[in-house]
């Protein structure tokens, strides 16, 4: 390893984490924590990279890792959305227990900064958002001991994300020309933000750590204007050239405590010189084009 600043990254094989890894590998030495069962197809070309070290944390002794390796920054991107048949213990383990363990070890071993990937979703919506907000409270409580940065993301999307994500599921069903898609009424509004803009936001934060307060800082990452689910799906249908799939708005009820209008504040990121650059139409076009080539 070189004299570059050292990042401990969780979630580096996932959609967001792999994109971040590609963005920072030229400027940082990165140790990636992954599970032995993690898919590595997104990062296959980086598995032997000189600036990347891979650790299977379900087999490793994390206290020994911190004792043997100095880290400047912990960047926590690992996320369990609680979808499918995953238990609440799996969700809490990824979103609360793992980052809490890393936070404590970071404090004990003199790590300067902990950057947490959060969500703008209210904690009452589901187990995923609840576990995220529970860790946020611990992070805020520890801000006197370690520089703590919370990055709350709106609904981000892009090519080759998991189909368990709403946006990817919509793209794939439209691209396959499925007969119909059952949806909520679709009046809830979201700030759909393209993955490249999210990565640029994290990079701007990483490169601005020396100018941030030594305690707690919070950033929200989103577009400047929200759009309804209904308009998003209709736009995606138009861009895919799909004229056959029936969109059944109202076939699915809203979730309990559904957020109907996501209101975000990106002024803190703007103050660092960041703003979203990819329009919704352009982002959907890029996603469809890249997935169509594959």
Least confident of 148-152, 219-223, 258-262: 258-262
The whole-number pLDDT of residue 257 equals 79
CB of 259 closer than 8 Å to CB of 152: no
The whole-number pLDDT of residue 84 equals 66
Per-residue pLDDT, averaged over 216-241, amounts to 97
Q: At what angle do helices 127-141 and 98-108 cross, to 10 degrees?
A: 10
DSSP-H helix ranges across the chain: 15-24, 62-68, 88-92, 98-108, 127-141, 166-175, 195-206, 229-239, 267-271, 280-293
* pLDDT tens figures, 92-132: 888 999 999 999 999 999 999 999 999 988 787 788 889 99
Calculate the alpha carbon distances from 274 to 168, 218, 219 in Å.
26, 14, 11
pTM of the model: 0.94
The whole-number pLDDT of residue 124 equals 76
The whole-number pLDDT of residue 294 equals 57
Q: Which helix (H) or strand (E) holds 218?
A: strand 216-221
The mean pLDDT value of the chain amounts to: 94
> How is the chain split into domains, by residue range?
1-153
The whole-number pLDDT of residue 80 equals 84
Answer yes or no: is pLDDT of 233 > 90: yes
* pLDDT tens figures, 176-194: 999 999 999 999 999 999 9
The whole-number pLDDT of residue 292 equals 84
Answer yes or no: is pLDDT of 256 > 90: no
The whole-number pLDDT of residue 293 equals 67
Quote the CATH superfamily of domain 1-153: NAD(P)-binding Rossmann-like Domain (3.40.50.720)
The whole-number pLDDT of residue 1 equals 46
Per-residue pLDDT, averaged over 130-142, amounts to 95
Per-residue pLDDT, averaged over 16-30, amounts to 96
CB of 46 closer than 8 Å to CB of 12: no
């Amino acid at each position: 390893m070189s004299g570059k600043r050292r990042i401990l990254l969780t979630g580096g094989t996932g959609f967001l984490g792999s994109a971040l890894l590609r963005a920072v590998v030229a400027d940082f030495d990165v140790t990636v924590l992954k599970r032995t069962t993690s898919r590595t197809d997104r990062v296959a070309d980086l598995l032997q990279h000189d600036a990347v070290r891979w650790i299977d944390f379900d087999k490793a002794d994390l206290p020994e890792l911190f004792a043997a390796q100095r880290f400047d920054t912990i960047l926590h991107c690992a996320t369990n959305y609680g979808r499918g048949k995953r238990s609440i213990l799996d969700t809490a383990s990824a979103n609360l227990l793992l980052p809490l363990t890393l936070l404590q070890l970071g404090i004990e071993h003199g790590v300067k900064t902990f950057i947490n990937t959060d969500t703008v979703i209210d904690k009452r919506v589901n187990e995923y958002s609840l576990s995220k907000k529970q860790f946020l409270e611990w992070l805020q409580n520890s801000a006197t001991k370690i520089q703590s940065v919370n990055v709350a993301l709106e609904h981000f999307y892009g090519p080759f994300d998991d189909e368990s994500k709403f946006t990817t599921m919509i793209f794939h069903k439209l691209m396959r020309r499925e007969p119909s898609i059952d949806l909520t009424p679709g009046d809830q509004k979201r700030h759909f933000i393209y993955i490249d803009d999210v990565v640029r936001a994290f990079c701007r934060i990483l490169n601005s750590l020396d100018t941030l307060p030594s305690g707690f800082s919070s950033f929200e990452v989103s577009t400047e204007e929200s759009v309804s689910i209904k308009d998003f799906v209709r736009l995606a249908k138009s861009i895919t050239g799909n004229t056959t799939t029936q969109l059944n708005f109202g076939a699915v009820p809203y979730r309990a405590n559904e957020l109907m209008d996501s209101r975000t504040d990106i002024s803190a990121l703007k103050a660092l010189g960041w703003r979203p650059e990819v329009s919704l139409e352009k982002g959907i076009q890029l996603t469809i084009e890249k997935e169509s080539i594959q």
